[in-house]
Every structure is written in structure tokens, then in C-alpha cells.
Structure 1
């Protein structure tokens, strides 16, 4: 099933979650926020009204109905019935533990390969130069992205830079008042749709800081708020919030960035 080619029968709806995951990168932002929330919270969605889903996803009720119709359902109620059946459906291809481990290995290796393919050496060098010259680096991410923000902050502190990582949106915005020229702000978001992370980068840019987005989605409001974007592994994990595998690509980006930063710092010392 494809969002661009709505399903005509229930039999064609093999996996609602897979469909949303594969096409989220091509959806308008309002619909993408809904898809992201559904992928991260499929069980909760079964108990939400259309108004509640709109509130939690940050989108309007009309957008929810539009998304449901776009993927082949008459409305939200029809969608929830199908989703309930999918969540409760036993696997048709049960895997042994060895096969499951092999599949996990392949997924993580694939994510690393995609992240490597997305590497832009020139952009890494520019970001590395901005970090090396910075008097302060603020990093923000929500949920799992907050963990990767803390990992990069740790790596930056180890090389002598002043780095602050936040997972609390209010604190990040309050402290961001001290940002300005000569500072760097880095926002982490798998989907690029996290409203607090977008606002963090927008505020930092308004204050004069260099803004950097580390994300898995090439087209997003977060990217629009960034001076530089470093892409990780793409939106291929199902569901987005269900495993740690989306972190693999981001860790590759972090270590690639640290290599670029080390090069800049070594060249500065050699002068």
C-alpha cells in the first residue's frame, strides 16, 4: 500500500504502520506529525478521539481525516478498526532468535551504510570549524534524541569545548537567551518535526548563533531552521520510537563530526 495510491480493499492494507513509515518523508508537515505520533504510539491511538489525536500530534482534525482517506480509509473510525486488527495480528513469519539477531544486525548495518552515504565532507568541515571557533555550544533533543544530544555534548566536553545538553524544553529555551554570535546550537530530531526542537533552533538563530540540525528527514521544519543539516540514516525503522536502531546513524554522524572537528583543531595548533 502506498499513500500516493490509496488502497481499495482491506486485503491490500498489509501494514498500516509500514505504509506510514515508508511515506512519512513525502507527507506535508501537518500529516507527517500525525504519522509520526501514530508510529510512536499505535496502541494509544486506538483509545484517542480524533480531537485527542489532533492535540497530541499538533495537527488539526481535518488533517487527520485527510491522512486516513489518503491511505485508503473512509475516516478515523475505519482507520482505528484496521489498526487494532494489525496490532493484534500474530506474525505470519515468526523468527527464531538467531534469525531475529541476524535481522537486527542487517538493519543496523543498513543504517550505518545510509548514514555514510549521506556524509557531506565539505559540510562536516564547515560545521567542525564553527564548533572549533565557538565559545559555547547548546544541544537539545526530546526523548531518544535527547540521549544522542548528551552523547555529542560529552564528546565536545572531552576536547575542551563548552557544551550544554538539554532534554527539558523550558530549560533549553530559558538558557538559550545567552546564545549569540560565536555560539552554536544543535538540534536533534529523528523526524525533524519535534516542535520544541524546531523552536529551540529558531530561537538560537534569532539570537545570532550558528544552527545545526542532526536528523533523519531531509525535508522538515527543523531543516528550515538550520544553517547546516547533517543527515543520519533515514526513516526506515518501524516504528520510529520502538527501537534504538535510529540512534546508529546519529552516532555515526557524531563521530564523523568529531573527526572533522579534530582535523580543524589540529590544523589550528599547527599554525
Structure 2
């Protein structure tokens, strides 16, 4: 929660920034404070405190105190540490692993704010699932497609701008488009999400909840791990996105019940029979 507030600080209004800076400087006091106390201590109004809470993805002030309490109770060994050019190899590897653990811990803390039941319901009623991502997020989209189709729902993955634009232009009601993006800043993706939404498709976005992509989505799964700016490809956000999609897969399978179980069993049996055929042909 504290990493998230710090990361979003430049995007907040001046009044919201005053609240954010006070919370970052006094997290333990904020966790046990009243709304009036936070407003007075930060030099902001009570409505500004409420707006701050919503701007960082929380439902309200009570949610803020709960998330701060959770953040302060985490093991100190998980504190974020970026890799430095002077780090020895074992230290660098340890920092990468620690950062990966932290990304998943931070994602777990956001689960209460995610409309998971609404997302699963939309997926279960889908005519087709289309997973969309550009760059590194395209690999996440492909991984999701590889897993979700085994439930018996038609799936595809789109990882290029022309394909994404064309899909949005022909999207129909009961199509579910799942956009995966670390910061939601790609204009082409946001434009496609807006078009698909207008055509009646359900647009799900795993992204920064304050991004243009999030604004264009029907359902937003807030996910914005703090990335190390010293590397050139998303690492922590990729892990968070993969974990959320895996959780949605399991939840969808449970919701579908026997139908999902039968499809998963059939897909596994199909692979097993192919493996058996290859093995038998190789035997002398």
C-alpha cells in the first residue's frame, strides 16, 4: 500500500498529495487515526482525504486504515530494494527474488478491491475470451489463452496493434476482451478498449486503475506493482498479472463445476493418448 501511494503521488491533486505525504511520513499514526485526524494533520479537508483514498484504488477511508495495518505487519525482509550496478551476483539475485515475492504480497493486499466475482461471471457467460497485450504483456496474454481454452470456452490471444484494432471493431455483446497492461498508457490499446466497450463487449483491464485503459474498461482489476526503472522489461507486474489470471482460471473452473472438470479431463486425456501413441511407435 505504501509503495502504491508513493508511486501514484505525482498523479494526485495538490490536496491529495498533502494527504499522501502525511500518510507516507506517519503510516502507523494513519493506520489508527480517524478521518478528521488525518484531514487535520495533513492540512486537507475530509472530502480531500476521501478522494485520496479513491484515487489510490480504495473504497474509502476505512479501507485505507486496513491496508496500512496490513502493510505495516509484513516481514521487514520483503522491503523493496532495487538492483544496483555495484551489487555482487548473489546480492542481485536475492534482490530480484525478494522483489518478486513483494510483488505477489502487494497483489494479495489488493484482492479485496478487485471485482473478482463480477469478472468470473462475465467470463462464464462469454461467447469468447480474447486476451490482449502488447510487448511483454503479450506473453502474459498468450499464457492465459493457453490455459483458459481448456475449460471449453473459445479463446484467442492478440499481441499486435492491427489485430487488436480489428477485434475491437467487430466485437459483439458476450465477447469478453481481457486487456493486460502494466501502465495502461498505450493509446492504441485504450482506443480499442473504448471501441469494444461501445459495441457492447465486456472489457476487462488488468492495469493501473488511473490509466486511460482503465477508464475505457467495463471491469478494472487494479494491478500496479512498482517496477525497478533500472531494467528494460516489466518483471514484477508480469508476475502479478500471471498470478491474477491463474486465480481467475481456478475461480472460473470452480464456478463452471462439472462442465469445466469434464473439459479439463478431456484435454488432459487427449495429450496423454498422443504421448502414448508416440511412445508405442518408438518401441522396437
Same fold (TM over 0.5): yes
- The structure with the greater share of residues assigned to helix is 2
Instruction: Report the number of matched residues.
Output: 187
Cα separation, partners in 2 of 1:269 and 1:196, compared to 1, 3 Å: closer
Cα separation, partners in 2 of 1:158 and 1:138, compared to 1, 3 Å: same
Aligned counterpart, 1:248:
239
Q: In the alignment, which of 173, 177, 181 is matched to residue 173 of structure 2? A: 181
Q: In the alignment, which of 81, 84, 99 is matched to residue 107 of structure 1? A: 99
CA offset digits 1:187-227 (Å, max 9, x no partner)? 11101111111112111101101110011x22111111111
1 CA distance for matches of 2:253 and 2:158? 24
* Pairwise CA distance, 1:151: 1.2
Instruction: Report matched runs for 1:204-223 at 5 Å.
Output: 204-215=196-207, 217-223=208-214
Q: In the alignment, which of 122, 125, 132 is matched to residue 133 of structure 1? A: 125
User: Alignment RMSD, CA only?
Assistant: 2.7
Are positions 1:238 and 2:225 aligned together?
no
Name the SS for the 2:111 alignment partner: coil
TM, length-normalised to structure 2: 0.59
1 CA distance for matches of 2:237 and 2:260? 36
Cα separation, partners in 2 of 1:220 and 1:130, compared to 1, 3 Å: same
TM, length-normalised to structure 1: 0.62
Name the SS for the 2:131 alignment partner: strand
Q: Which runs of 5+ in 2 are unaligned?
A: 1-5, 13-82, 262-284
* Pairwise CA distance, 1:163: 1.2
1 CA distance for matches of 2:134 and 2:125? 27
Q: In the alignment, which of 207, 220, 223 is matched to residue 229 of structure 1? A: 220
Do 1:111 and 1:233's aligned partners in 2 also have CA atoms closer than 8 Å?
A: no
Q: Could you say which structure has the greater relative contact order, defined with CA pairs below 8 angstroms and 6 or more residues apart?
A: 1
Aligned counterpart, 2:10:
26
* Structure with max Cα Rg: 2
Aligned counterpart, 1:58:
none
Instruction: Report matched runs for 1:74-153 at 5 Å.
Output: 94-120=86-112, 123-153=115-145
Cα separation, partners in 2 of 1:243 and 1:131, compared to 1, 3 Å: closer
